[in-house]
Amino acid sequence: MKVLGIESSCDETGVALVETRPGGVPRLLAEALHSQADMHGAYGGVVPELASRDHIRRVLPLARRVLADAGSTVADIDVVAYTRGPGLAGALLVGAGVAVALAAALGKPALGVHHLEGHLLSPFLADHAPEFPFIALLVSGGHTQLMRVEGVGRYELLGETIDDAAGEAFDKSAKLLGLGYPGGPALARLADFGNADAFALPRPLLHSGDLDFSFAGLKTAVMTQVKKLGNVCEQERADLAASTQAAIVDVLVAKSLKALKQTGAKRLVVAGGVGANLRLRERLDAGAAKLKARVFYPPLALCTDNGAMIALAAALRLQHGLAALHEDGAFDVRPRWPLAELEPETR
């Protein structure tokens, strides 16, 4: 069975085609992505209306490219999956509308997918896929959560951020350092040239005893430092970047390892855009090794938003009998949609 996946929840238009394999993990046949980062960069953050309009422009050309790259045609598509939420309402509506219209035109069913379930299952697209159960650290621009994953559709929330997400902390600190949008990758690059011990920044909730996170105070601490320095020179900027990255990474690593110890799990899956951070990966790998645990990541290019994870999550749900397919042309989107509210059977 071939599943076309469409992602449009924020500022990336992603399309991909996966094929299910009996008894195996679905195989990625082709994927294509257009990032709107440059367009939004001029405004210092995502402008929702511009995002929606750009998704409209990109989605069909990307779908054509994916089908051509996979050596397939629309007639080969069995199911059209789309991101139903969470995300920007207008942006979600573009992907959902196109997916449901395409499915109706082909006489095939459509399936709405939870964006975070896509991230959570994305390590199954890597050469070395994890086995269930595992602990998942979900770290994106909008979410920071630790979950226990028993199987497809069986997720238990262990802890989450009480304010800003880890990616938000990267982005907001980067903005304060004049690094543009999205700042996470730029801050990580600059951090390579800085001294992580130069500034003593807070590690919020590090010793709270639970698995929750808080990053809002960190951004305030970075702002205070920037104001105190006044004219920030190049080296100070690099030092602040390195110190900020170290503070975020310290907390993410400590809580992830605590989750492993607490549950006795031996596998940790890292997903979401911040999972692309190489310092985070190094520290998690080293920490997990001491616990005789192993860390699994999606392929680097599939850490941030993409269509492959949406097609994959849909295919895995279908394989596990956890999806009610519909061909009635009706659809909705859920801009706010806690993963805990994900019904056992999605439609």
Chain positions contacting ligand KG4, by CB under 6 A: 10, 140-142, 167, 170-171, 182-185, 188, 272-274, 276-277, 304-305
Length of the chain: 347
Least CB distance from residue 122 to Zn ion, whole Å?
Answer: 10
How far is Cα 168 from Cα 215, in angstroms, rounded to an integer?
8
The closest alpha carbon to 287, from 323, 241, 249, belongs to: 249
Give the residue with the Cβ less far from ligand KG4, 257 or 276: 276
Which ranges of the chain would DSSP assign to H, the alpha helix? Answer: 37-41, 48-69, 89-106, 115-121, 166-176, 183-191, 216-229, 234-263, 278-290, 307-319
Least CB distance from residue 140 to ligand KG4, whole Å?
Answer: 3
Give the residue with the Cβ less far from ligand KG4, 102 or 308: 308
Give the residue with the Cβ less far from ligand KG4, 141 or 307: 141
Least CB distance from residue 183 to ligand KG4, whole Å?
Answer: 6
239: part of which helix (H) or strand (E)? helix 234-263
Backbone φ and ψ of 130, nearest 5°: -75, 165
The closest alpha carbon to 138, from 303, 322, 251, belongs to: 303
Residue 170 touches which member of ligand KG4, Zn ion, none, C-beta under 5-8 Å by kind: ligand KG4
Least CB distance from residue 129 to Zn ion, whole Å?
Answer: 20
Residue 171 touches which member of ligand KG4, Zn ion, none, C-beta under 5-8 Å by kind: ligand KG4
How far is Cα 268 from Cα 319, in angstroms, rounded to an integer?
23
Residue 274 touches which member of Zn ion, ligand KG4, none, C-beta under 5-8 Å by kind: ligand KG4
Residue 214 touches which member of ligand KG4, Zn ion, none, C-beta under 5-8 Å by kind: none
Give the residue with the Cβ less far from Zn ion, 139 or 265: 139
Give the residue with the Cβ less far from Zn ion, 98 or 271: 271
Residue 86 touches which member of Zn ion, ligand KG4, none, C-beta under 5-8 Å by kind: none
CB atoms near residue 189 (< 10 Å): 13
316: part of which helix (H) or strand (E)? helix 307-319
Which ranges of 131-233 would DSSP assign to H, the alpha helix? Answer: 166-176, 183-191, 216-229
Residue 97 touches which member of Zn ion, ligand KG4, none, C-beta under 5-8 Å by kind: none
Least CB distance from residue 122 to ligand KG4, whole Å?
Answer: 10
Place of tokens 């808080």: 214
Residue 145 touches which member of ligand KG4, Zn ion, none, C-beta under 5-8 Å by kind: none
Give the residue with the Cβ less far from ligand KG4, 97 or 167: 167
Question: Sheet holding 2-7: strands in order across?
Answer: 24-35, 12-21, 2-7, 79-85, 110-114
Residue 173 touches which member of ligand KG4, Zn ion, none, C-beta under 5-8 Å by kind: none
| Contact between 93 and 333 (Cβ < 8 Å) | yes
Give the residue with the Cβ less far from ligand KG4, 7 or 79: 7
Least CB distance from residue 248 to Zn ion, whole Å?
Answer: 17
Give the residue with the Cβ less far from ligand KG4, 77 or 337: 337
| Amino acid (1-letter code) at residue 66 | V
Least CB distance from residue 83 to Zn ion, whole Å?
Answer: 9
Least CB distance from residue 174 to ligand KG4, whole Å?
Answer: 7
Q: Which residues in this chain contact Zn ion in the complex, by CB under 5 A?
A: 140, 305
Least CB distance from residue 63 to Zn ion, whole Å?
Answer: 20
Residue 277 touches which member of Zn ion, ligand KG4, none, C-beta under 5-8 Å by kind: ligand KG4
How far is Cα 9 from Cα 120, in angstroms, rounded to an integer?
16
The closest alpha carbon to 202, from 214, 190, 193, belongs to: 214
| Contact between 296 and 131 (Cβ < 8 Å) | no
